[in-house]
Amino acid sequence: MKRYVNINDNGQEDLYCDNRISNTKYTILNFLPKNLWEQFSRFMNQYFLLIACLQLWSLITPVNPASTWGPLIFIFAVSATKEAWDDYNRYLSDKQANDKEVWVVKQGIKKQIQAQDIHVGNIVWLRENDEVPCDLVLIGTSDPQGICYVETAALDGETDMKTRVIPSACMGLDPELLHKIKGAIECPNPDKDIRRFEANLRLFPPFIDNDLCPLTINNTLLQSCYLRNTEWACGVAVYTGNETKLGMSRGIPEPKLTAVDAMIDKLTGAIFLFQIVVVIVLGIAGDVWKDTEAQKQWYVLYPKEGPWYELLVIPLRFELLCSIMIPISIKVSLDLMKSLYAKFIDWDEEMYDHDTNTPSHATNTAISEDLGQVEYILTDKTGTLTENRMIFRRCCINGTFYGNESGDALKDMELLDAIGSKRPDVIRFLTVMAVCNTVIPLKSKKGTISYKAQSQDEDALVHAAAHLHMVLFNKNGNILEVNFNASILQYEILDTLEFTSDRKRMSVIVRDCQNRDIILLTKGADEAVLPNASSGQQIRTHVEAVEQYAQLGLRTLCLAWRELNEDEYREWSLMFKEANSTLVDREWKLAEVCQRLEHDLEILGVTAIEDRLQDGVPETIETLRKAGINFWMLTGDKQDTAIQIALSCNFISPEPKGQLLLIDGKTEDEVSKSLERVIRTMSITPSEPKDVAFVVDGWALEIALKHHQKDFTKLAMLSRTAICCRVTPSQKAQLVELLKSREYRTLAIGDGGNDVRMIQQADIGVGISGREGLQAARAADYSIGKFRFLKRLILVHGRYSYNRTAFLSQYSFYKSLLICFIQILFSFISGVSGSSLFNSVSLMAYNVFYTSIPVLVSVLDKDLSERTVMEHPQILFYCQAGRLLNPSTFAGWFGRSLFHALIVFLISINVYADEKNENEELSMVALSGCIWLQAFVVAMETNSFTILQHLAIWGNLAAFYVINCIVSALPSAGMYTIMFRLCRQPSYWISMFLIVAAGMGPVLSLKYFRYTYRSSAINKLQQAERLGGPIVSLGNVEPQMKSIDKDVALLPMSQSNNRNTAYEPLPSDSPTSSRRFLGSATPFDFLQTTQLRLSSTYSRNFKDN
């Protein structure tokens, strides 16, 4: 579908939306019904609403309906208030943007209006530092060459300025004529792709002779960008309001379900089934008792004949009585706790990056506990493990290596002498470095030159060229000026063949203004440039240079050029213009046209750029691997470069502790054989334990995922470490989905826009606020400044969050089951009639106040100090394996609630169930016993006490008596003088003592036995912390590999006598061979292969001299 925009035409205002921005979910009129609909779309809320409605039926309700309606309305009100507040803040933000004043041209007159009144087709004028109010096609600027500069940080997070240029059809137009310009823009319907805009512009006479002019993203100003270093600019509005690219990108991401939430849902379902069984059994028993024993008791006033639904009355009473088995407050309590977890991450000063003044931030407040259950980390390389701060180190020009001895080609005297003598091959090499790019040179008032580059590689190359006396100092429209040894060289840029992830190269076509020659300059990855070398050129030296530099962990680019004749360029230019004008498959057609020119290249040489590791990366990976976390590196870099980076950051280790196997192949059959061979090798158990990892490139990975997914899945489960090279953003997301399909908890971390899909696909997405911008950080659940902070994020925040959530969720069920079991026990002495022991006020206060406040302060609880957790990362296994929240632990809490219910009920009945005591007194004694037990249970489960926790636990206990004394003083409350009478009776306090002693004694004894005789690694660490002594051994707490299902059973294992060419150990003299091993008991070390295969597409160029 296409959109046709008539420039400066007010007759199309009704065709498209105005520029009003709206990100709100609600309006004043629909807030209440819409919010209620959303809340009641959840099963638990529907369940509680049904219970509350049944309680309105006076015949069956055992308690006042307020006992359910009160908490239900309170919880709904809290959720609705939070939603309303969030939506109100969105409204204020929208209003600020909509009310902003902007200048537009209407009917040839320039006037000021509000941003929300802009319509498609209006001409919008911007001044320096103005924010772009909608998506515009640039048609004029204050620069004579039609260039303007924009800052896109608010759009994509990239802080470097970008150039935007007016279409060629608008070049040379008088600014005064822009008020009257007429024409049409043919563009696609709105989409959210901020990297692409494929459209055509046609200006009507007299402005131009009706020619079609192609438009790209470089001809646009997108909403929320800022105009910089440009006096003014104007453009035609093509997308407005929520139809802008930024507006289309907005939206609420799909909620992520944590493993803890999934377990809570399962446990809730189990309790619901148990509740149904209890209701059926007690309902039948009640009906039987009513028809038999009840008839013999003179005081039971059941009617002899009842209505048709009589058999349902007692079961429904028990349903209402047992409805509190599922705690109504659990969701609100968990949401509040999770919000506090997120705030702890935001407030953590130890995760503050002082280099960039970047704090850690939790965007998603609902999944903190999943951080403690991570099993796989999939990480980008450049900018994530490395600094993304490129430094030019070495180069190879026409077979001569520079910088190998000194490690810095910029100081290599042989290279400097070659430049001084103006060797043609060196000059051409430097020319490509300085000219083949999209860098913008900026001259300060003092005359110094600085560069604005969209790529860190380009920035490094241009700075290196300038250091070697080839200085790019001016870019005036299509004219580039280069200063080489005080000589000014001018080049006219005819066309730019942009870099794409598929082409993996970029080219520019320039005309030398001195001799009028047309030259194609190309730079790109070796597999994209070397296969296009001229058939007569020897490129063996260049291939060796690429391999040598990759072995050193350096990033490589190949530079090439080719002279073009006028006829060839003219014919190609027509095809390029035609492809550039199409609106369908423009990128694919452009790539096809570019390939027609990028061949028979003269390879000039190879550059090697260093990207240093971030501080703390090796230590972070080593620590997290000790925690049992598996690592996969997903990078677009070369295989050798990725392996060397993996070696230097403890991702893998050299011989003899492991093995790195290579999966390669260009056909389905080759990849299949390679996969089978690697799986067979990994399945063999050697005499000395070895951890085996694998490396695969993007081509083989594509075939494996498409045709051999079963085998590749098997391989993924066998290997703790993988290096995937030359992968695309979509392949990164596929690998995440593959691991998730095997029910592993995945964390993806990256720093650039190409990592967004991977980050959003993972269970947990972490973005690094790096030099590639904030796109990854904005799309992620968590953002951090450096990779090293990931260790603290997982081990400290993730582990604490999991422990606290596990306790809170099980405790919530425990306190609800406790009061429910007492009600059930009471039914056995009340004729199984479904009568309630507790009054409505007590039940409501029990759920909302008495038992909620003490447990909420568990958000501060720490079973171990942060230092101990960081020093002993292997204890994370207890979280990964779900040791603290599972059916077994829940059964313990279930049994505890039943045991405590028996203790409370039996002691209360035996002391107070006689003719002298009222039922209200018995009820208050039982309730008091529950509150005392709650306090001691929370105190027993608390590991680290603070003043706030003491106040919450014991202050809440005191508040219980204060509140009930106040209520007992009110004659109309139904509890008049009860608490005063009880507190004066020694039997009451003796009952409380007996309840606590009998209830907590066995629990404490069992806890002491387990702590003393069956202590876990955590118990040992706790004991060492209290005694201040060292930890001798924690034993084996590492997770075992998940069992492989039948559908991915191992292949038959057999070992060949001949060493397979698919893998080789790294040489023992590797510079990283002395790096420390990973792990505590069993090192996580690996051998590597370094044998690389040359692409068959350019092996034809290898010829022996």
Catalytic residues: 380
Strands 602-613 and 386-397: antiparallel
C-alpha triplet 720, 723, 726: angle, nearest 5°: 155
Nearest CA among 269, 280, 284, 267 for reference residue 322? 280
Cα atoms found within 13 Å of the Cα of residue 103, Cβ hemisphere only: 13
The span from the CA of 981 to the CA of 968, in Å, is: 10
The token pair that represents 727 in the structure block: 């992968």
Q: What do you get for the CA distance between the two ends of the chain, in Å?
A: 58
DSSP string, 37-101: HHHTTSHHHHHHHHHHHHTT-TTT-SS-THHHHHHHHHHHHHHHHHHHHHHHHHHHHHHHHHT-E
Tell me the CB-side half-sphere exposure of residue 645, using CA atoms within 13 A: 35
Tokens for 592, please give them: 């096809």
Tokens read off for 772? 């590639």
Distance CA 230, CA 1055 (A): 69
d(CA 345, CA 359): 9
Reference 1032, options 1049, 1044, 1015; nearest CA is: 1015
Q: How far apart are CA 538 and CA 437, in angstroms?
A: 26
**Cβ neighbourhood burial of 422 (10 Å; 0-12, 13-18, 19+):** exposed
Two structure tokens written together for 8: 């400066």
What is the rounded distance in angstroms from the CA atom of residue 990 to the CA atom of residue 974?
25
Backbone angles phi, psi at 25, to 5 degrees: -90, -30
How far apart, in whole angstroms, are the C-alpha atoms of residue 159 and residue 153? 5
Q: What percent of the residues of the chain are helix, what percent strand, and what percent coil, each to the nearest 5? A: 45, 20, 35
Determine the residue type at 594: C
The answer to whether the CB of 1024 falls within 8 A of the CB of 1031 is: yes
* Joined tokens for residue 672: 């299949």
**Sequence-ordered list of residues with C-beta below 8 angstroms from that of 253, at least 6 positions apart, any chain:** 760
Q: What does the alpha-carbon distance between residue 331 and residue 47 come to, in Å, rounded to a whole number?
A: 14
Nearest to 631 by CA among 413, 850, 379: 379
383, 754 contact by CB (below 8 A): no
- CA gap 899, 1003 in Å, rounded: 10
Nearest to 640 by CA among 1078, 1093, 1074, 1097: 1093
Q: Three-class SS of residue 800?
A: helix
Give the C-alpha separation, 982 to 987, whole Å.
8
Q: Whole-angstrom Cα distance, residue 772 to residue 788?
A: 18
Contacts of 1010 by beta carbon, 8 Å cutoff, 6+ apart: 1019
Q: What are phi and psi of 220, to 5 degrees?
A: -120, 155
Which residue reads 């058999």 in tokens?
311
Q: b/e per residue, 489-521, with b = 16+ CB within 10 A?
A: bebeebbbbbbeeebebbbbbbbeeeeeebbbb
Query: Which residue has 């008088």 as its token pair?
Result: 174
SS3 call for 698? helix
Contact of 780 with 256, CB cutoff 8 Å? no
